[in-house]
Amino acid sequence: MLSSAFSASLIWDNGPISIPHANAQPATDSGTMIVKYGDKSFEIMVAMSVGEVVNATLLPDDNQLLLDLTPSQDEGGQLTITLPRELIDAKTADHSADEPFTIVLSDSEGTYVESNSTDVARTLLIDIPAGTEYLTIVGTQAVPEFPPLAILIAGVAILTILGVSRKARINRPASR
């Protein structure tokens, strides 16, 4: 059963982005969290077999997505999460290939299996031991501070300004 109870929207406010869910759901529910950054929205699909995701915080400067969990103290479970590549990703330095994410469960390193990878999203199956209260997904990039198009526009503007100022200097009569 898909539920919108996990849906929430926040706009980047120069701090962490928190996405609390609207209300508690049964442990087997799944849903979509909506993260807004500027004029873009990102959907994170989540499903937990035991427990639930109660909050998510994106730390773009650290390339991390932090998930607060309501754990089961008696048994472990599995989290299935689909992460949009534009929101968080793990790539080689030249961006030519995927790299593994680093998963931290409470205070120990976790493991995952990547079940699906497309050009737009990666789906991770993460084993959650009993008692796990939070999970951190660490990538190599998270929501770019300046989108590539903005960098290109800024570069063209700077070059134009330099060209105009140079031309103005050349056309200026010499002072006596």
pLDDT per residue of the chain (176 residues) written in tens, 0 to 9: 333 233 333 333 334 444 443 332 333 356 887 766 667 778 899 998 888 888 788 888 899 998 888 877 888 889 999 999 999 999 999 988 999 999 999 878 999 999 989 999 999 999 999 889 999 999 998 876 555 555 667 677 777 777 776 766 666 666 65
| pLDDT of 149 | 58
- Scored b (16 or more CB within 10 A) or e, 136-155 reads bbbbbebbeeeeeeeeeeee
CA 159, CA 163: separation in Å to the nearest integer? 6
Return the pLDDT at 76: 87
The predicted pLDDT at position 157 comes to: 72
Structural domains of the chain, with CATH: 2-144 (2.60.220)
Instruction: Report the alpha-carbon distance of residue 168 to residue 146 in Å, rounded.
Output: 31
pTM of the model: 0.67
Q: What is the per-residue pLDDT for 107?
A: 79
Q: Which of 67, 137, 59 has the alpha carbon at shortest distance from 103?
A: 137
> What is the phi/psi pair of residue 168, to 5°?
-65, -40
pLDDT at residue 153 in the model: 72
Choose among 139, 16, 126, 18: nearest CA to 85: 139
